[in-house]
Amino acid sequence: MTTAESGFVELDDVSLRYGGTAGVLALENVSLKVAQGEFVAVVGPSGCGKSTLMKVMSGLWPPSRGRAIVAGHVVTRPLSIVGMAFQNASLLPWRTTLNNVMLPLEIVQPHRSAIKRRREEYESKARELLHIVGLEEFASHLPWQLSGGMQQRASLCRALVHEPALLMLDEPFGALDMFTREELWSVLQDVWMARRPTVILVTHDIREAVFLADRVFVMSARPGRIVAEQVVPLPRPRTLEDTFNPEFTALVHDLREHIGHARSQGRELP
């Protein structure tokens, strides 16, 4: 099976109910395909099942029905080819920026076995990432010495250091102010263009989705279903200036309408 035909990430009629038959139906009949190297965004109202979708794709939670396929394999356990970042940067407070970024190399194979021998090489990899996100001078700082935006940059580096084929970002900029958030859109775009991992970005910020993604999926209110899909044909690299173009604002407007429909379509089942 080639991933080009089947999608690098594929959800095949996935439903997920938390906590048995009387539990919460979080996802219902979700199917989607993401090509290798593609950047997709998933937008939807709070509580609609976006994080649940990520848990299924990364193997952290099994679906009740259907399946997830990543890189040609059905997902049955947590995947090591995934890099993740969340709303909370969750850096270890006693580790320097550099050592936080290097953490996955100490955990994920084959790096774990090699890190003692190849420490210098790994360290320069981590420093290179810090350079891309503009944090090279803060490599020896501790998390409390960094601003929220800087912590989130470090968290992005940590998600990328083991060169994951798949990057999953769950509202990574949600806790930041608008200026910092928009600055980090460009940083993330740079990293993606330099390395081209497959990216799945969950966000409730429609402008963020349009700025970053090749394609945007809209989810309904719970139980989460994919109710719309929008290609973003804007050339790259995209700049903040571009967000004022009529083409950009029209896309944002269209998606906003889809989400308006999606909200009213939510059935709020138990």
Ligand X SMILES: Nc1ncnc2c1ncn2[C@@H]1O[C@H](COP(=O)(O)OP(=O)(O)O)[C@@H](O)[C@H]1O
| Residues within the interface to Mg ion (CB under 5 A) | 50-51
Please state the closest distance from residue 260 (CB atom) to Mg ion, in A.
20
Any contact of residue 93 with ligand X (CB under 6 A)? no
Please state the closest distance from residue 225 (CB atom) to ligand X, in A.
12
With CB under 5 to 8 Å by kind, the binding choice for 63 among Mg ion, ligand X, none is: none
Among 222, 225, 238, 258, binds ligand X (CB under 6 A): 222
**Taking CB under 6 A as the rule, which mask of x and - marks residues 14-43 in contact with ligand X?**
----xx----x-x-----------------
Any contact of residue 50 with ligand X (CB under 6 A)? yes
Q: DSSP for the chain, please give it.
A: --HHHH-SEEEEEEEEEESSTTSEEEEEEEEEEE-TT-EEEEE--TTSSHHHHHHHHHTSS--SEEEEEETTEE--S--TTEEEEESS----TTS-HHHHHTHHHHHSTTHHHHTTTTHHHHHHHHHHHHHHTT-GGGTT--GGGS-HHHHHHHHHHHHHTT--SEEEEESTTTTS-HHHHHHHHHHHHHHHHHH--EEEEEES-HHHHHHH-SEEEEEPSSSB-EEEEEE----SS--GGGGGSHHHHHHHHHHHHHHHHHHHH-----
Any contact of residue 48 with ligand X (CB under 6 A)? yes
Please state the closest distance from residue 255 (CB atom) to Mg ion, in A.
18
With CB under 5 to 8 Å by kind, the binding choice for 46 among ligand X, Mg ion, none is: ligand X
Chain residues that interact with ligand X, rule: CB under 6 A: 18-19, 24, 26, 44, 46-52, 222
